[in-house]
Structure 1
Amino acid sequence: MQVGVVVFPGANCDRDVGWAVAGCLGWRVTFLWHQDATFPKLDALVLPGGFSYGDYLRCGAIASSAPLLRAVADFAAMGGAVLGICNGFQVLTEAGLLPGGLIRNRGLQFICRDQGLQVASSRCPWLRHFAPGESLTLPIAHGEGCYHIDPPGLRQLEDNDQVALRYLDNPNGSVGQIAGVSNKAGNVLGLMPHPERACDQATGGTDGQALFRGLVDWTGLS
């Protein structure tokens, strides 16, 4: 499995994703600089968490216009598996690759803790190892993780089975307790929790590893 990890100025979780993918799963990792216009053949792409461009303007707004995002959009349009984690989720919404947006947490405080989640849909490749209704625990660490979408948009998400993950409680005030959504095709997933931080029992659990391993079934690779 060859996985690309996009690197933005200010991102601080790209190496965490690299460690999880290469160190825990034994996959090959290619780091992709945001200013590049193309990238080599890959099986999946990850946009990691952090604070791209210092979160100026809006979280992910500046990063969404990076040259590499055009290639990411093309990769997604061709059915490639794309995962946006935390700030990567924010970038994907700003780029129009996922619906809705992320705003300041309810209470305006940064939240950092382990978080219980429920799988709402397992149709995207990343969640193939989970059944709808199954619970998992992943860390969260964000100040602007409150998912927002208007009522018609929310109904469309529900009708299209695009809500992927929900919070068991609602730490940030997200509409519908939504922690992650996919695109209509199901190959692009954005989520606020950090699966790369739950890939080793020594660091608190392996639910994140199961999320990444869903790609193996989907691609037939290892």
Structure 2
Amino acid sequence: MKSAVLVFPGSNCDIDMYKAVEDCLGEPVEYVWYTRNNLDEFDCILLPGGFSYGDYLRPGAMAGMAPVLNAVREAAEKGKLIMGVCNGFQILTEARLLPGALRRNKSLKFRCEIVNLRVENNKTPFTSQYEEGEIIRIPIAHGDGNYYCDEETLREMKANHQVVFRYNGGNPNGSIENIAGVINKAGNVLGMMPHPERAVHEWLGSADGKRMFTSILQSWREKNGVTYRA
């Protein structure tokens, strides 16, 4: 499985994401600049956190119009696995690849801490190695993580099991119904504010994010009939 880590002007979690793939999976991974217009050679596309274009207009708004997003849309339509974390989540909503929007934290303060998440849906390519209802610890670092959508969209998302993660035991940003991560209807595009790539070793404070990457690899192998041999 070959992964692409997209890099925009202002990205600052691209190295974290790259190293997480390298450490957890040992599979090929490359940095891909925002000007690229073809992602056919990649199986998994990862949009990292940061402050793309300095968060001008709105976080993710300018990156959502970058040339590489057309290739991301094409990849999504082909069923390739796409994950956006923090600013990557914001970009995916701005590009309308995911429903809803990310607003300023209710506290109007930047929050940087490890939070508890409840796994709401473990029947996705990104969460198959978790238990439904499992509580995991993943760090956050954002000022605009307040997830919002209208009531009709929320009802539709809940009916389609598109809410993947919820904050548990406290809501750090005011997100509607404690939502921390959502998936598209097709189930191949995930966005979340917490950073799983920063939770892949116990010495980081938690290794609970590692299973997200191994779930992705397992899903890709099953879909492509790849048998792993140690």
Q: TM-score, normalised by structure 2?
A: 0.94
What's 1:9 paired with? 9
What's 1:139 paired with? 139
Distance 2:23 2:134 in 1: 27
Distance 2:88 2:130 in 1: 22
Q: What is the number of residues matched between the two proteins?
A: 222
Asked if the contact 1:124/1:188 (under 8 Å) is kept, the reply is no
Aligned AA (2:207): T
Asked if the contact 1:105/1:143 (under 8 Å) is kept, the reply is yes
Distance 2:217 2:74 in 1: 22
What's 1:195 paired with? 196
Compute the displacement of 1:25 (Å): 2.5
Q: What pairs with 1:148-167 in structure 2 (closer than 5 Å)? A: 148-167=148-167
Distance 1:206 1:2 in 2: 23
Q: Which runs of 5+ in 2 are unaligned?
A: none
Compute the displacement of 1:91 (Å): 0.1
Structure 1 counterpart SS, 2:152: helix
Q: Which runs of 5+ in 1 are unaligned?
A: none
Q: TM-score, normalised by structure 1?
A: 0.97
What's 1:95 paired with? 95
Asked if the contact 2:25/2:217 (under 8 Å) is kept, the reply is no
Structure 2 counterpart SS, 1:114: strand
What's 1:36 paired with? 36
Asked if the contact 2:40/2:75 (under 8 Å) is kept, the reply is no
Distance 1:186 1:123 in 2: 9
1:113-166 deviations in whole A, cap 9, x for unaligned? 001000111222111111221111100000000000011111011011100000
Structure 2 counterpart SS, 1:212: helix
Q: What pairs with 1:1-222 in structure 2 (closer than 5 Å)? A: 1-168=1-168, 169-220=170-221, 221=226
Structure 1 counterpart SS, 2:64: helix
Distance 1:95 1:24 in 2: 29
Structure 2 counterpart SS, 1:113: strand
Aligned AA (1:58): R
Structure 1 counterpart SS, 2:209: helix
Compute the displacement of 1:219 (Å): 1.2
Alpha carbon RMSD of aligned pairs, Å? 1.0
Compute the displacement of 1:28 (Å): 1.3
Aligned AA (2:176): V
Aligned AA (1:175): I
Distance 2:39 2:149 in 1: 32
**Farther off after superposition, 135-144 or 28-37:** 28-37
1:74-116 deviations in whole A, cap 9, x for unaligned? 1011110000000000000000000000000011000000010
Aligned AA (2:46): V
